[in-house]
Structure 1
Amino acid sequence: MNSKYTHILQREFPAMDTELLDYIGGVLTGGDEEFETGDDIFDAVGDILQSVDGERSEDSIRGICEEFLQIMRNDSKNVERKVLNAPVNIEEMAKNMERMDKDMQSIWVVNKDGANKVDSKKLEKAEAKLQQKQEKRQEVTKYGVVPVAVKLQTATASQVTNKKNTKMDQKGLNRSMDIKIENFDLAFGEKVLLQNANLLLSFGRRYGLVGRNGLGKTTLLRMIAERQLQIPSHISVLHVEQEVVGDDTSAVDSVLECDTERTRLLTREKEILAALNSGQVQDASLSNELSETYAALQNIEADKAVARASVILKGLGFDADMQLRPTKSFSGGWRMRLALARALFSKPDLLLLDEPTNMLDIKAIIWLETYLQSWPTTILVVSHDRNFLDTVPTDIIHLHGQELEAYKGNYDQFEKTKTEKLKSQRREYEAQMAHRAHVQEFIDRFRYNANRASSVQSKIKMLEKLPELKPVEKETVVTLKFPEVEPLNPPVLAISEVSFRYQPTDPLPIFKGVNLSATSDSRICIVGENGAGKSTLLKIIVGQLSTIYGNIVLHRGLRIGYFAQHHVDHLNMNVTCVGVLAELFPGRPDEEYRRQLGSFGISGPLALQSIASLSGGQKSRVALAKMCMAEPNFLVLDEPTNHLDIETIDALGKAINAFKGGVILVSHDERLIKVVCKELWVCGNRTVRAIEGGLDEYKREVYKEIEANG
């Protein structure tokens, strides 16, 4: 504060307290560039000065303000200015600077011919950027098709590590089974997925990782599995991600091979026995080693391994004959089940599961839920199966807003806690905003009142100390919208005495004597074990498979929309979302493609991204948009919930219920089945039957079968 202002104030207003003195001095010093006249100063502090001395006239106060103005002007004249007292040769100066520091570049360097001298490295960089922009423009055609090969983005992780823990880990002194990954970032290409995130996994707990499609759940699991995020080296990690490679190894042996210690001990046992039985070697040390090997095998309960592997395989749908078949004879879905069986048999310290229920039927899901409830080590599972998340996890980790937030309990408890937490945060934010407004009103009202000056100052400081709360962001509501169609008069679809086998030489049909019907009001779910013919029945209905046994009668106005189980296989990875629709329905306005995609949550810049860059759930939405582009009035959906997040599955249920046409779907998602289905068809025992009592009755049958089989 300028001491001249203080001197005048103390001279004219000796009763003025220190706080008010500092306040007025601060206003005058801080705003000296804003005051052009004495009236400006009077407007700022005149009322305060009059309140200090009520007997002083306005003219007197204005005179004091003129004194303040004169001080400001004198101070501004005394500001030191550097004046050039001789001509300066800028070119020579630049050359001298270059000689002083060769690394320093100058914009003033001029050649004798007057041409600009340009930094070549910067020029190259600018030209490369320009070229990149031009190529990017050329890549996208009218319909958003990308003719060049798609460059797949990669995931990257960075982490702040604890030096003490790292040293302990290197020396083998860290024996804790808990996993603590602190202060880490995760990105996929240029998109930041997590920032300054923390993840704590306590040993023996079962964690469900949830969040919207495309936020990075699968990427996080992969980074942990690849140890790009540092975890203690003594903790074994197994990520069930890729299917088992097919060869001549039987299914049960493929599972047993996972126990490397058992395999090593059995191999060594054979070697020692062979050496002893040959009679050429009679070594006491070999006999002792054989005894130790037997003890080790007994210690790991090697004799029970085959039975344990068989129980796991049976629970996942492999009957006795299938367990003896070579792995190369199984399809991709069954090999994924084998990968899951191997993981369950291995019992790693940390088991990472990504959508394990996608490849399972309801019976296998029920078995897996029961099996994992007694799992002895740590599990981190990504799942969108609401019933699975209510049954298996002990904790939920919510990925949102580039953060990880942990909650105790299953998904149902998480949802309740999150809702209450958001309400509380919203109330706290609104209360603070109201409090801030009330305090600010007091400050504005009594800012120039000398009697309230100390109160004003204390309230200003109080506002500064208040924690800055951010408004609670509402998650965008997912909406899916099937086309508006007119319902058809019955009969819409009728199946009479249909039997089917893939080859005439097959000894047994997939099913026989099937009699079914559907209308525009139908909401039918088909359930049954894998291999029982669910997808085959759908392909017969949509006409992809034909049968010579029985009749299928379709309404002449029927337009079927078919969502295949492996929809991703039918999408061109090298085109944008808009391009997918443009390929199938060429010649339509670009706005129509984007409006259609927007009906399934693919809007804005996302609609112009390549299919290869999308998450599994986003690809599913593109496939749904593609299916509905032809405005079908009857939907046939094969596992539509695979890869969709919970919010999108809920939106799918609402969209199905709002649809005016009929729906037949194959699904293992219990929540969706209960929300939409009025009728249940069960595939099994080479037939298809309608079941009364719906899903609950079917589950009772499954539980009885599981209990009967032990």
Structure 2
Amino acid sequence: MDDQNDSVLSEQIRKELLKRYKKIDDEVLNYLIEVVNLNKDDFESVDDIQDAVGSILMELNDGKNADQAVNDLCTKFFEILNPEGAQKGLNSNSNGTIKQLSAPIQIATSEMNTNNDKQVESMFNLKKENITYVDARKLEKAEAKLKQKLEKRENKPVINVLTYDSSKLASASQAISRKAENQDSIANKSFDICIENFDVAFGNKSLLAGANLTLAFGRRYCLIGRNGIGKTTLLKMISSHQLKIPSHIRILHVEQEVHGDDTLAIDSVLECDEKRRSLLQLEKEINEKIHSEEHKNDTSLNQELEKVYQELEAIEADKAISRAAKILCGLGFSTAEQRKATKEFSGGWRMRLALARALFAKPDLLLLDEPTNMLDLKAIIWLENYLQMWHGTLLIVSHDRSFLNAVAQEILFLHNQQIEPFRGNYENFLKIRSENLKNQQREYESQLEYRQHIQVFIDRFRYNANRAAQVQSKIKMLEKLPELKPIEKEKEVHFKFPDVEWMNGTILRLDEVDFYFSKERYIFKNVDISATMDSRICIVGENGAGKTTLLKVLIGEYEPKKGFRQTHRALRLGYFTQHHIDGLNLAFNSVEVMQEKFPGRPIEEYRAELGKFGVAGDMALQPIVSLSGGQKSRVAFALLSMLNPNFLVLDEPTNHLDMETIEALGEALNKFGGGVILVSHDERLIQLICKELWFCRDGQVKSIEGGYDQYRKIIESELEY
């Protein structure tokens, strides 16, 4: 009986929806029916229905009276579900008459209104073909809400989607042209990629609108742009095929670290070549049959085996092991480490394994997101040279200027919701863009002057009867001129660390310090180093050389096994590490994170501190999960600044920061009144601030005369290609 009643209710809801939205997508229609019908016992008022489906219905309404239409429809739903108590579910005054709300209660609308009208229209235009009537993100949000209610009924734990699954926040839509549809035809097997007229959003924020992306096979593209503008999201939309890519193109996105198990590192790389693995398995099966009594006279098996050998030879299977070993060696794995199980490696080294697997697999399109973050200089230089010989298509997100100059054949500049291509490397991009901006400014000023000249004539002779025809002609001329838009300059990023009082003499010192975790292997021995308030010291060396361990001895987290650590009595250390970023509560916004770490202070103080590191306006109120890696780093810097340190110790502070932010960080560190010691592989930051360079190697910490240039020469002389 209940099933029959549900069927009747579903049909009534369907009729109401179809009556109002004749072109509604079937998937959206069925979903709305399911949400309303399944939650009928929870709906105590019209407002409850609006909370559940109001935002979706608003997307379906593009008329002037959308608020009223949604309110009326939700009221009708309530009457269908609860005909006897419908009147109680309506908002009424003391006289019992129906009180009409001025607007439906919306969850998402307020966020959407923060975007300009043009952005919203381009992302959710109902008239655009091949695009769903409702943004996929909103459906997923409604689905998560429905799932939470159902799980509560069954007493199951509810998982916060915002906290644990940020991938569902991103969505993409694309107007598919006939040209794009033909890319998958049998006759067309081109490996060029052309994605036209597509939109990408993260939640309610439009990242790309009506953008185009063209990738010619065999070229190396580097995608650049400010933090939070959508670079990583775009890579995910491509790799997940939410943007249409020809099906015959093999895509590999290096995004997640290799799963740790008993598989050896070199075997983990070899097994990603599926064709080689299947051929070797087939060879084994055929050989077993040949040596069995049942098939000993079967001559066809020998012919089949010969074909397998020919295919193995064609893919150079005999060279696979040496090629895998060469890639692993270039990325820093010693011969002994290549024979270790993957579970024995840390997360950073498993990411290197993921990169090694991708390079070995040779996909048609390789997507790399900040590949240099996990690499030391030796591995970065090796990767630069390896990628210069890459035969497929490369699309790389990177903020390493030196790496971009070495690898990029074309720069894709993501800004203003568009992708603008520039031929050449990063330095060439800077020159061309600077010249373009100057030309645009000159053109703008010229047009403005011309408009003003015409306007002066109009104003002067507007009431002169003899010049009436000329004035009208000038007015029409002015109306026909293209819209005059000033040059949009990107907002500059500024960092500001707190002011500190000067302290004379040595602030931090290690005297004849030894440190080890096991006596069989010293991390470093007999280290003598010191720092003052004006120190700008950079520690370099290969991964595993003990740089981070040295920092932890300097800050007092590790006690020296021998020797002494001495500090100034007024020392206040600020220690930055990537683990601080990973530890941020993703469900909180930036202000709430500050409140959690430093409770009891005015909201204005938290906002002011965040503003010193570029986390201002709406960004400060966005959940941490929706921020990019670079924006999370800014929040971590603001937390560090709240400690009011007079000496900074920074471990890889530039990971995920865009180039403008790296420049801002360098400038802020130079202005900071206290001392600075950092571990970094970013050439630009080191060149900006470094006064001393400490080189960690073979248990020693030595100062390098000649700075970073001399260090790079040392590393390049040791590389084997």
Kindly provide the CA deviation profile for residues 171-229 of structure 1, in whole angstroms up to 9, marking residues without a partner as x. Answer: 42221111110000110000000101111111111111111111110000000000000
State the partner residue of 2:658.
645
Q: Which amino acid aligns with 2:404?
A: L
Matched, 1:126 2:88: no
Does the 8 Å contact 1:574/1:610 carry over to 2? yes
Does the 8 Å contact 1:354/1:382 carry over to 2? yes
- Going from structure 1 to structure 2, the CA distance change for 1:185 and 1:494 (only over 3 Å counts) comes to same
Task: Find the aligned partners of 1:674 and 1:530 in 2 and give their Cα distance.
Answer: 20
Kindly provide the CA deviation profile for residues 112-147 of structure 1, in whole angstroms up to 9, marking residues without a partner as x. Answer: xx964679xx89x936769999xxxxxxxxxxxxx9
Runs of 4+ residues over 4 Å off in structure 1: 114-119, 127-133, 147-153
Which residues in structure 2 correspond to 1:237-636 (within 5 Å)? 237-281=251-295, 282-503=297-518, 506-636=519-649
Alpha carbon RMSD of aligned pairs, Å? 2.5
Task: Find the aligned partners of 1:159 and 1:259 in 2 and give their Cα distance.
Answer: 32
Does the 8 Å contact 1:215/1:399 carry over to 2? yes
Task: Find the aligned partners of 1:173 and 1:567 in 2 and give their Cα distance.
Answer: 52
Task: Find the aligned partners of 1:599 and 1:657 in 2 and give their Cα distance.
Answer: 16
Return 328-337 or 572-581, whichever deviates more.
Answer: 572-581
Task: Find the aligned partners of 2:502 and 2:374 in 1 and give their Cα distance.
Answer: 34
Return 663-672 or 485-494, whichever deviates more.
Answer: 485-494
- Going from structure 1 to structure 2, the CA distance change for 1:131 and 1:249 (only over 3 Å counts) comes to closer
- Going from structure 1 to structure 2, the CA distance change for 1:127 and 1:645 (only over 3 Å counts) comes to closer
**Aligned length, in residue pairs:** 580
Matched, 1:200 2:214: yes
Does the 8 Å contact 2:589/2:623 carry over to 1? yes
State the partner residue of 2:225.
211
Q: Which amino acid aligns with 1:229?
A: L
Q: Which amino acid aligns with 1:646?
A: M
Q: CA deviation at 1:448?
A: 3.9
Q: Secondary structure at the match of 2:337?
A: helix
- Going from structure 1 to structure 2, the CA distance change for 1:427 and 1:346 (only over 3 Å counts) comes to same
- Going from structure 1 to structure 2, the CA distance change for 1:531 and 1:433 (only over 3 Å counts) comes to same
Does the 8 Å contact 1:249/1:327 carry over to 2? yes
- Going from structure 1 to structure 2, the CA distance change for 1:577 and 1:321 (only over 3 Å counts) comes to same
State the partner residue of 1:654.
667
- Structure 1 residues not aligned, in runs of 5+: 1-101, 103-113, 134-146
- Going from structure 1 to structure 2, the CA distance change for 1:183 and 1:678 (only over 3 Å counts) comes to same
State the partner residue of 2:198.
184
Kindly provide the CA deviation profile for residues 277-328 of structure 1, in whole angstroms up to 9, marking residues without a partner as x. Answer: 2343121211011111111111111111111111110010001000111111
Q: CA deviation at 1:582?
A: 2.1
State the partner residue of 2:119.
none
Q: CA deviation at 1:170?
A: 4.5
Task: Find the aligned partners of 2:608 and 2:180 in 1 and give their Cα distance.
Answer: 53
Task: Find the aligned partners of 1:296 and 1:268 in 2 and give their Cα distance.
Answer: 11
Q: Secondary structure at the match of 1:543?
A: coil
Does the 8 Å contact 1:149/1:574 carry over to 2? no
Q: Which amino acid aligns with 2:523?
A: I
Q: Secondary structure at the match of 1:510?
A: strand
Task: Say which one has the larger Rg.
Answer: 1
Does the 8 Å contact 1:174/1:232 carry over to 2? no
- Going from structure 1 to structure 2, the CA distance change for 1:258 and 1:520 (only over 3 Å counts) comes to same
Task: Find the aligned partners of 1:385 and 1:200 in 2 and give their Cα distance.
Answer: 23
Does the 8 Å contact 1:203/1:377 carry over to 2? yes
Give the TM-score taking structure 1 as reference length: 0.78
Give the TM-score taking structure 2 as reference length: 0.77
Does the 8 Å contact 2:198/2:208 carry over to 1? yes
Q: Which amino acid aligns with 2:414?
A: L
State the partner residue of 1:671.
684
Q: CA deviation at 1:377?
A: 1.1
- Going from structure 1 to structure 2, the CA distance change for 1:118 and 1:604 (only over 3 Å counts) comes to closer
